[in-house]
Amino acid sequence: MEDNRKDFDILNKMKRLPGGLVIIPLVLAVIIATFFPQAFQIGGYVTALFYDGNSAMMGLFLIVCGSAINIRQVGMPLYKGVTLTGIKLLLGVAVGLLVGKLCGPAGILGLTPFVLIAAITNSNGSLYISLSSQFGNATDTGAISILSLNDGPFFTLVALGATGLASIPFKALVATLIPLLIGFIWGNMDKGFRSACATAQPIVTFFMTISIGSKTDVSTLVTAGASGIVLGLISTATAVVFFFVFNLLLPKKERNAMGAAVGTTALNSAMTPAAVAQADPSMEPYVDMATAQCATASIITLFLCPFITAFFDGWMRKNKRGIYSPEGWAAGKA
């Protein structure tokens, strides 16, 4: 019997909206928390899921992320993935450490060292795959298996602990790594599990973001507007650095514009501040603002990064002699 009920297709509509799976539940939770502050505190499953559920949902999210890492990606995809992940991590740590040394834990322009690290080290994998289909090749697309490692809070926790910007217990790092390993091992043993995780990721992201937003209010989002835009512009500007550094580390025949495609802040970076505070409670005062800043930055980079990648692709096509030769520079400036 045919089902004639109207399908509102809500999930796909949210996915089509830039940052929808993070922005919509975040704003929804913040509005409820602002005008109906007791709504999340009625107890039972409601409080367990929508208010106290962040840690459990983050653990599930890490399993999903780990399942996307394909051990069968070898050769150039592996090299590109490791290289992109490495330069993202190093630049994010460098920026965060510099701001921390010069400005202290409060940071600059409302941007703390740990939110800079969280935003810069975490890239938008979906956008990267989309851009690779236009500006890259199969090896660039394959690199996403390794690049997926920067999803979630693991690299941010490692960076903060290594630089002394936060006190991250070793057990917290292990506790973050275990779900990733579970997803990685199971996903490589079972294609069905990997497929199920890919399907489940939007749902996990949606409900995890609600549990984060339920602890803040509208004033935080409004205050984070300007600083979130600045954070997005900083993250977008790193695309230029990634483009040149990545191409320096590639064989000439593999050089393209895809280094710029990681100059983004992932939509799920908004979940990272809460995970950092879970490991180091002293970071708790910064969580609400950092969450809103990362969410704003993800939207800015989502819009700007494709234009930067397209610009460099056009520049390289015009400059057929190689971007690092004197002739190439001249051709690029012509």
The angle formed by the CA atoms of residues 243, 249 and 251, to the nearest 5 degrees, is: 105
Tell me what pLDDT residue 249 has: 92
Tell me what pLDDT residue 167 has: 66
pLDDT tens figures, 142-156 = 787 777 777 767 777
Distance between CA atoms of residues 163 and 123, nearest Å: 21
Give yes or no for a contact between 155 and 121, defined as CB atoms under 8 angstroms apart: yes
Given 3-state DSSP classes, what are the helix, strand and coil percentages for the chain, each rounded to the nearest 5?
75, 0, 20
- % pLDDT > 70, the chain: 87
- % pLDDT > 90, the chain: 11
Which amino acid is present at 249? L
Give yes or no for a contact between 178 and 294, defined as CB atoms under 8 angstroms apart: no
Instruction: Please determine, for residue 334, whether its predicted confidence score (pLDDT) is greater than 70.
Output: no
Cite the beta strand spans of the chain per DSSP E: none
User: Where is average pLDDT lowest: 117-121, 182-186, 200-204?
Assistant: 200-204
pLDDT average, residue stretch 225-236: 88
Instruction: Please determine, for residue 237, whether its predicted confidence score (pLDDT) is greater than 90.
Output: yes
Decide which of 192 and 202 is more confident: 192
End-to-end CA, the chain:
66
User: Where is average pLDDT lowest: 5-14, 52-61, 166-175, 283-292?
Assistant: 166-175
Instruction: Please determine, for residue 284, whether its predicted confidence score (pLDDT) is greater than 90.
Output: no
Domains, the chain? 18-331 (1.20.1530)
Tell me what pLDDT residue 236 has: 92
pLDDT average, residue stretch 8-21: 74
Give yes or no for a contact between 133 and 141, defined as CB atoms under 8 angstroms apart: yes
Distance between CA atoms of residues 293 and 298, nearest Å: 9
Report how many helices (DSSP H) and strands (DSSP E) the chain contains, helices first: 16, 0
Tell me what pLDDT residue 24 has: 81
Distance between CA atoms of residues 32 and 242, nearest Å: 40
For residue 280, the tally of other CB atoms under 10 A from its CB is 18
Backbone dihedral angles phi then psi of residue 152, each to the nearest 5 degrees: 85, -175
In Å, what is the CA distance from 118 to each residue of 81, 203, 270? 19, 22, 9
> Residue 244: which pLDDT band, with cuts at 50, 70 and 90?
very high
Tell me what pLDDT residue 330 has: 40
Residue 24, judged by CB atoms within 10 A of its CB (0-12, 13-18, 19+), counts as middle
Give yes or no for a contact between 180 and 63, defined as CB atoms under 8 angstroms apart: yes
Decide which of 54 and 231 is more confident: 231
